Structure 1
Amino acid sequence: MKLGARILKTGIAIILALFLSQIFNLPSPVFAGIAAIFALQPTVYRSYLSIIEHVQGNLIGAATAVVFVMAFGNSHFIIGLAAVLVITLNLKLKLENTISLSLVTLIAIMETPGEDFIQFALIRFSTIMLGVVSAFIVNLVFLPPRYENKLYYKNTILSEEITKWIRLSTRHASEHQLLKADIEKMREGLIKLDQLYLMYREERDYFKNNKLAKSRKLVIYRQMINTTKKSLETLKRLHRYENEFNQMPIDFQDVLQHQLDCLINHHEQVMLKFAGKIRAEASYMEGEVCLNKKQLFDLFLAQKKDLAETNSQMLYHVMQLVSIIMEYGENVEHLDTLITSFQSYHKDDNNVSIEQKTEI
């Protein structure tokens, strides 16, 4: 079992929170450790937003606790009523993420009010905020996330898995039920890919040149994900219309197989181009000619008359298959154009490391 950066950072944040509590001689340092757990975020930017939100949320919890204790005491019923009010206020102010820690602050202050209650409340509030600050420091300094590498490699691995199945499907070598299960896994992989893209988009660059390169990379990665989605949609259509594909004329099957092989090779080499593994000006299919959209559509129209006479439902399904292949090709070409343009203007700004791959 591999320990991820998030796991290690959680441990470090707890250690730092407890250590700082000891240095400042704060009672009940356990609350600082709890706060550090709640406040740790996957990105530096989210950690910054988390501090702002938790200051507001904890102020609500602390202020509510002080008012209720001074006005009504600290019976179990009063604490529950105060908790309801804290949750309501957080929801009204759109601070849903801070509800848990606000309630911790509320209970920590209301549980054992002493003679110097206001001072006690300030100390508990400060202890919890120390944990929040500790989490931010750890997120900023230790093991900063590298979402670009994760995004590139998860996309690459997912694309390779999809293209492998496309090759098998066009050669009638895929196992129907196994492919169906893998398609579901790949669909879930695309959801994770979208989440990684959001994480990468939230990462902030503080230099103008880096911001320009980052904005163009965001466009490339968005198109990269869209292209992978189109390849998965192509695989889904091949799987769904497997019988119709097998009933098409052999010559037309060979055309579609050749076209998909061309698109797959192009897609693979575009990904390698982005990682700097091949030259930007390299041709993706030297010696082979792939059909353009018009040629592929003309060949489909040539089959239309025969298909319409034998099975109109089959014609409709074949039309969907040809359509998605054309869309896949358009997305690959657009991705190629974006990457070529990026490398022309930002030759030294591609930070993707190609030393290690990660799992889907």
Structure 2
Amino acid sequence: MTIGGRVLKTGMAVALSIYLSSLFGFATPLIAAVAAIFTIQPSIYRSWQRVADQLQTNLLGALIALAAVRLFGHTPIAVGLVSIVVILISIRLKMESTISLTLVTVVAIMEATGQGWDVAIERFLMVLTGIGASFAVNVLVFPPRPKKQFNEQLSGAYTQLSLLLRTAISNEMKEQVFRQEKDKLHGTLRKLEERYLVFEEERKILARTKTSHARKLLVSKQMIKTLQKGADLLDVVEEHYFASPSANEWATRFDRQIEDMSKYHEHILLKHEEKIKPNAQIEPEEEREARLVKDLTAYIMEDPDENKRLVFVAAALFEYAYHLRRLEKLVDQVQQRTAAGEVKEG
């Protein structure tokens, strides 16, 4: 088990909030620590957005709590009603993620007003201390690098996909192992989509490089799309290929074509990382693909009812190939424009 950056930073934010609570002379560091835990985010943009939202809703919640205490006292029913109002307001403001900490603020302030207004204000300051500690740690200590994390997950997803594709037709892998690896692949793809959203949010704070960042986003999105098409091919092979009476007859040709596409996919990723010579020809021979289409079409027409399952497999394979070629074109375009931009700056 490894300790991730967010886990480590959460611990550091809690430690800092406790230290600051002691430095400021707060009665207890508990509220500040809780606020720090709720504020840690996977990107600087999200962290800043969360701080801004937390400040708004917590200030609003604190004002409502103080007003409610003056009107109704700090009875359990009053605290419950104020909590409901705060939840509804947060939802209305589309700040649902801040509800938990805002409710902590409300309860802490309403419970403290019986001890005096100075205690209630102190507890609100505790919340602000925790928010500030969390934001400082997130920005200054191991700042999130969504691009690097995205590329690492992308490489891992391709490795999983390649292993499954290369053994899909030959059916060499044990059924249980194949399903486990396939589940891992789908899990990695979900994480990639989440990481892409974080990567996309960076564009909002990178004003100077919005154009180049937009190009990189386009490539990243196509990379995910291509991986998904490869995963779709696995599903189609599993569902239709082995159910076809002609599976064994076409095994070698399908296996070779999938092998070519998988290798092509790997070379595109290497090109994107600038590990391949600029003029290297990495696209597989289209003649072999054309022959496969021609021969398979003629074969299916001999007995469409019996051989139609092969159509699904071929369609999924050619769609995967289409998105691979589109990905390579995007990578080439981005690298050419990047190079042109560097020449102009030079």
SS in 1 for 2:143: coil
Task: Say if 2:244 and 2:307, in contact at 8 Å, map to a contact too.
Answer: no
**CA-CA distance at 1:297 after TM superposition:** 2.7
Matched with 1:272 is 270
- Within a 5 Å distance, the mapping from 1:246-261 to structure 2 comes to 247-248=246-247, 250=249, 252-261=250-259
Q: How many angstroms does 1:292 deviate by?
A: 6.6
Which residue does 1:356 correspond to in 2? Answer: none
Deviates more, 1:201-210 or 1:253-262: 201-210
Q: What is the RMSD of the two structures over their aligned residues, measured on CA atoms?
A: 2.4
1:289–1:78 distance in 2 versus 1, CA, 3 Å: closer
Q: Of 301, 315, 323, which residue of structure 2 is paired with 1:331?
A: 323
State which of 282, 295, 299 in structure 1 corresponds to 2:295. 299
Structure 1 segment 307-322 matched on structure 2, within 5 A: 307-308=303-304, 312=305, 314-322=306-314
Distance (Å, rounded) in 2 between the aligned partners of 1:134 and 1:143: 15
2:28 is paired with a residue of what secondary structure?
Answer: coil
Note if contact 1:259-1:291 (Cα within 8 Å) is conserved in structure 2. no
The 5 A counterparts of 1:40-189 are 40-114=40-114, 116-117=116-117, 119-189=118-188
Indicate the larger mover: 210-219 or 331-340: 210-219
C-alpha offsets along residues 164-222 of structure 1, whole Å, 9 cap, x if unaligned? 22222223423334323432332222111111111111124756553222111111110
Per-residue deviation, 1:299: 2.2
One-letter identity of the residue aligned with 1:218: L
Deviation at 1:70, TM superposition (A): 1.2
Tell me the secondary structure at the aligned position of residue 234 of structure 2.
helix
Q: Percent of aligned pairs with the same residue?
A: 28
Q: For 1:276 and 1:64, how far apart are their aligned partners in 2?
A: 57
Pick aligned residue for 1:346 from 314, 320, 338: 338
Question: Is it true that 1:240 corresponds to 2:239 in the alignment?
Answer: yes
Aligned-partner Cα distance in 2 for 1:232–1:126: 50
TM-score (norm 2): 0.90
* Aligned: 1:289 with 2:259: no
Give the direction of change, closer, same or farther, for the CA distance of 1:91–1:164 in structure 2 (3 Å limit).
same
Instruction: Name stretches of at least 5 consecutive residues in structure 2 with no aligned partner.
Output: 342-346
Alpha-carbon distance between aligned partners in 2 of 1:209 and 1:291, rounded to the nearest angstrom: 45
CA 1:348–1:112 in 2, change beyond 3 Å: closer, same or farther?
A: farther
Aligned-residue offset at 1:322: 0.7
**CA positional deviation for 1:254:** 2.9
Q: 1:283 and 1:226 mapped to 2: Cα distance?
A: 23
Identify which range, 266-275 or 292-301, moves more after superposition. 292-301
- The answer to which structure, 1 or 2, has the higher relative contact order (CA under 8 A, 6+ apart) is 1
Map of 1:353 onto structure 2 = none
- In the alignment, structure 1 segments of 5+ residues that lack a partner are 350-360
**1: distance between equivalents of 2:42 and 2:206?**
22
Shift of residue 127, structure 1, vs aligned partner: 1.9
CA distance in 1, matches of 2:115, 2:168: 76
Q: Find out whether 1:224 has 2:223 as its counterpart.
A: yes
Q: Which SS does the other structure have where 1:262 is aligned?
A: helix
Check the 8 A contact 1:17/1:33 in 2, yes or no.
yes
Paired letter, 1:15 = A
Higher helix share: 2
* Cα drift, residue 69 of structure 1: 1.4
- Residues 36 and 130 of structure 2 are in contact (CA less than 8 Å); yes or no, is this contact kept in structure 1? yes
Q: TM-score by structure 1 length?
A: 0.87
Q: Report SS of the residue matched to 2:94.
A: coil
Give 3-state SS (helix, strand or coil) of 2:113's partner: coil
* Structure 1, 236-245 or 92-101: larger mean CA deviation: 236-245
